[in-house]
Amino acid sequence: MGATPLICIIDDAADYRFLVQTIFRRFFPENQVRFFSGGKEFVQELPKMTERPGLILLDRHMPDLDGHQLLLLLKQDPVYKTIPVVMLSSDASADEVNRCYEAGVNSFLSKPTEFDQLKEMMSLISRYWLGINLPVN
């Protein structure tokens, strides 16, 4: 494993990926981060990765393979089921949130609309899931 666990961020919104990438490069450069534009791309690349992700940040709404579908695939696979998954959405109903928790998501958060809020959220997520929380090996 590298210096810090790999964070995989899967989101179809290019603007959002750019903002998150900017935040990690500028404020949290010690983190290894890899971005994917959709669930299908992530599923294709996951078996090729030399390092197992330590954390997955997953957009709920994507056109090719949505976050809930990808979550189900991950949690059914013995190799990947223990990787913490944080689901992110800008609009989620209580039923949708409950469905994701029932499927095994570790956390469900609303996407902030302000840069500083997004920066703070990324800091808290990475500190908790990669710093404080003890991972399953």
Tens-place pLDDT, residues 32-88 = 999 999 999 999 999 999 999 999 999 999 999 999 999 999 999 999 999 999 999
Domain ranges within the chain, ordered by starting residue = 6-132
**pTM passes above 0.85:** yes
Local structure of 107: helix, strand or coil: strand
| 77-131 per-position pLDDT tens digit | 999 999 999 999 988 789 999 999 999 999 999 999 899 999 999 999 988 988 8
Contact in structure between 100 and 60 (CB atoms under 8 Å): yes
Q: How far apart are CA 70 and CA 81, in angstroms?
A: 11
Domain range 6-132, CATH architecture: 3-Layer(aba) Sandwich (3.40)
Per-residue confidence (pLDDT) for residue 38, from 0 to 100:
96
